[in-house]
Amino acid sequence: MLRPSVLLAFSFFLSAGDFPLAVAAEPPADGETIPDSAPGAGAPQTPLAKILSAASPTDSWRLGVLYDRDVFVHAPDLEEYNTPLKQEVFKKTPEYAERLSALNAERGATLKSWHYVKVEAPKIGNYSLKDRGFEIELHSNIGYGTQDARPPKSIDGILFPSLPIRLRPWGILDMPRDAGTNVLLVYVNEAAGLRIEESRAECILYVLFQVGWRQSVQYRFYNIRSNGVPWTLSDTPLAAKTARVVLGNRATGEVYFDREYRVQTGSGTKKK
């Protein structure tokens, strides 16, 4: 249990909105001038738009339904089959076989395709001369209730085991050493670092990926509503087998960082 002074400090930082969460990509609104929207008839694509044109915005819930081959969740018109017995009987019909075949075909195409999540306004720290790069904040492991909890290497419900994401402890008062913010490391040379520092307000982060498997994960989360007692939480999110991190400029479409990361064979991940 944490001391009241520590909980007060946690409350201050969280209420200040100091830790923005990564959000799922959405289609651009009318008139929105971001590089993955069409720049105009006949206009050449920016480098950022060209990269994004090969992927689609993420709907992690839909990806999960396809991955799990859940015909009943995938098709809302089958809501009448709302008990295990009704579903078991329906599975013996030709209609179920047809629907499952169509779902498998869609699943196969989806797993081969590229998708992306994005962080609209990434909080980028100063360039580290020691690490030769930047830390980009994703989410913290402390909050008000478990609705704030996220697996450490996840963005918008997708797990990225290959990405260089680490925990940066807050290091204030009597805070536990494993309480802090998960940050993504972006390694760039000094020239690229200067360009990023000068345009941080216009930066946007994308992570393109291909779905690999479901992975069982356990992680600690400090719940302020229970006096900061650490909870051990479990989840089985979809994991990306390949991830491509792209940091660009939303206004100009420039790309400052573009690197692909693959999960190493025999990494010891728990797959499902």
pLDDT tens, 74-132? 888 888 998 999 999 999 999 999 999 999 999 999 999 999 999 999 999 999 999 89
Same domain, 87 and 209: no
Q: Which of 111, 130, 150 is the last residue of a domain?
A: 111
Q: Which two tokens stand for residue 249?
A: 């400029």
- Give the domain extent around 196: 4-55+114-262
pLDDT tens, 203-262? 999 999 999 999 999 999 988 777 767 889 999 999 999 999 999 999 999 999 999 999
Average pLDDT over residues 28-33: 36
Q: Confidence class of residue 265 from pLDDT cuts 50, 70 and 90?
A: low
Structural domains of the chain, count:
2
Q: Confidence class of residue 59 from pLDDT cuts 50, 70 and 90?
A: confident
pLDDT at 267 over 60: no
Residue 272 lies in a domain: no
Same domain, 106 and 37: no
Same domain, 78 and 181: no
pTM tops 0.85, yes or no: no
pLDDT at 179 over 90: no
pLDDT tens, 2-23? 554 444 444 444 444 433 333 3
pLDDT tens, 127-157? 999 989 999 999 999 888 788 889 999 999 9
Give the per-residue pLDDT at 37.
41
Same domain, 158 and 177: yes
Residue 268 lies in a domain: no
Q: Which two tokens stand for residue 65?
A: 């339904």
Residue 145 lies in a domain: yes
